[in-house]
Amino acid sequence: MITLGKLASIVGGKVIGAPDQDILGVSDIKNGAPNTITFLFNPQQQELINQTSASAIIVPDASLLQDKNGIVVDNPRLAMAKVLKIFEPQNNIEKGVHTTAIIHKSVKIGNNVNIGAFVVVGKNTKIDDGVTIHNNVSIGNDMIIGSNVEIFPQVAIYPRTNIGNNVAIDMGTVIGSSGYGYETENNIHHKIPQIGSVIIENDVEMGANCTIDRGTIGKTIIGQGTKLDNLVHVAHNVKIGKGCLLMGQVGIAGSAEIGDYCIFAGHSAVRDGVKIGNRAVFAAKSGVTKSLPGGKIYAGMPAREIRDKNKRDAAYSQIISLKKRLQKLEEKLAK
């Protein structure tokens, strides 16, 4: 059990109302339950505060609360993330190494490591302290897994993959699979062997069913603090910088280099070999066909600065409108 005052200290906010109010959980503001805390992000939806049965609300402005308990913060979404972390259900994995796990005798395992049922770990792999590996995970040879890593069920990690500290890999993700490379001769496609490796740096998170290909000869690198949504594909020899956000169904083709703190909205794609500068932002369904500088927002296929794209779209709409007017004029004159 935790009080409203304690939560306020955790999220760095100011308590309005009763700091000793017990908070037993979190609820949605539209379906608020007593003894829970909820959130309001948009002040224009203030009427929801009057309707909710939640015992406290996190808001950006004290005036929104009226006579209700709450916490005032600058960023309610960030506060929500911290509160949800407190009430997040714990994973029910047995402590220690499950009897059905198959672990090569050369594997080095640190302290407080939990390994679930039917996990396979190859030879010469090192697992640091505080790692949790859930059921049915396959881990190859010659790997290093850093401390406090969590690997969820049915993940497959190929040999020659190094994983940093505080990494989370969700269900069904594959790391180190063979990259897509062929050379064609006389209409026969010859597979180019992919013998490189993968490096996942500290604090990276990967959603479910992502695929990270190993390098052809060198390395595929996912930079520190980068977060991948579900269904993201990163091809061979790609280098992704620090703190990037890649959303659902983003695809990065081989040997592309992505700068630090870039954002790719859903269905964005990057062609092979291009370089993207730091803090570039790509709208949904953007298609990057050439190298682009950082610090700008891009959209469209091919991706252009969003202001340029909007101008082009407006001009196109005007041309279509003009064409229709000319057609009507021609029909009128023909009569």
> Which residues have a catalytic role annotated?
236
Sign of torsion over alpha carbons 294, 295, 300, 305: negative
Sign of torsion over alpha carbons 69, 75, 77, 80: negative
Query: Please, is 136 exposed, middle or buried when counting C-beta atoms within 10 Å of its C-beta (0-12, 13-18, 19+)?
Result: middle
> What angle, rounded to 10 degrees, do the helices at 4-11 and 76-87 form?
120
Distance CA 254, CA 271 (A): 8
Query: Please, is 51 exposed, middle or buried when counting C-beta atoms within 10 Å of its C-beta (0-12, 13-18, 19+)?
Result: exposed
Dig out the tokens for 67 from the structure.
């006579």
Distance CA 136, CA 107 (A): 18
DSSP 178: P
Residue pointed to by tokens 């994995």 = 93
